[in-house]
Amino acid sequence: MTARASALARMAGAHRLLVAVDFDGTLSPLENEPMAARMLPAARDAVTALTALPRTWVALVSGRSMSDLRVIAEHRDGSPILLAGSHGAEYWTPDDGAVEPDEDPADIVLRDRLRAAAQEATRHLPGVFIEPKTFGFGVHTRRASAADARTADDAVDALVAAGAPHWRRRTGHNIVEYAFRDEGKDTAVRHLRDLTGADTVLFAGDDLTDEDALRSLPAGDVGVHVGVGQATAATVVVPDIPAFAAFLDELVTLRAAAAQ
């Protein structure tokens, strides 16, 4: 039996299954304008079908701020889909709504000061965009030249190293993120597992920031990497978003049959 077939069979027969999925690059194509991201129709249909299965929970786990994640996911208050934003520092559940940690006002002041400094330092670089985040900010360089991207990253690295050397730095597809909180997507998966009481977890992602969660999965869980050409801790690799949507569709069919 292939790794894919074994993973699907294990999830189909799980008593309580959590399907935790990254958003950008996993359900939605990467966009030059971050707020333009939306799930591919096939991915949305698969996610919706999963939420209708018994003893099955679906969660979106993203580095996006909660407010932005709800916009791009077109997530409404009546949705059964759980959310983990800011790499697991923010949550949304149907019962409690948004749950955010209390922050030291000094952290917010420092965040705003460094974010403004980063915007000023990169203002002259075409294609560079500073994305506000709840606990920091991101430097997007997808639309910039390679030289301007390096200049932007070096300039903001220096600013953060001087002003907030304790902040966490993450790299992703044409983005560097800085945050004064240390949570990773492994944190989010642990919390969501406890919240749902899941005995089996599927986590899927496409980027370096998803590897924290993939490496944290114990035997019996399933890790899926979406995309090719990157080393990954995932046990299953699919080439793109449509292939991942097909993987989820197959899971829906098998789990629905097992429940009968």
Instruction: Provide the annotated active-site residues.
Output: 22
Cβ atoms of 60 and 81 closer than 8 Å: yes
Burial of 149 (0-12, 13-18, 19+ CB in 10 A): buried
Query: What one-letter code names the amino acid at 255?
Result: R
Distance (Å, whole) CA 184 – CA 96: 22
232-240: long-range contacts at Cβ-Cβ below 8 A with a sequence spacing of 24 or more? 234/204, 235/3, 235/7, 236/3, 236/4, 236/7
7 and 235 in contact (C-beta within 8 Å)? yes
Q: Kindly state the tokens that stand for 55.
A: 């003893």
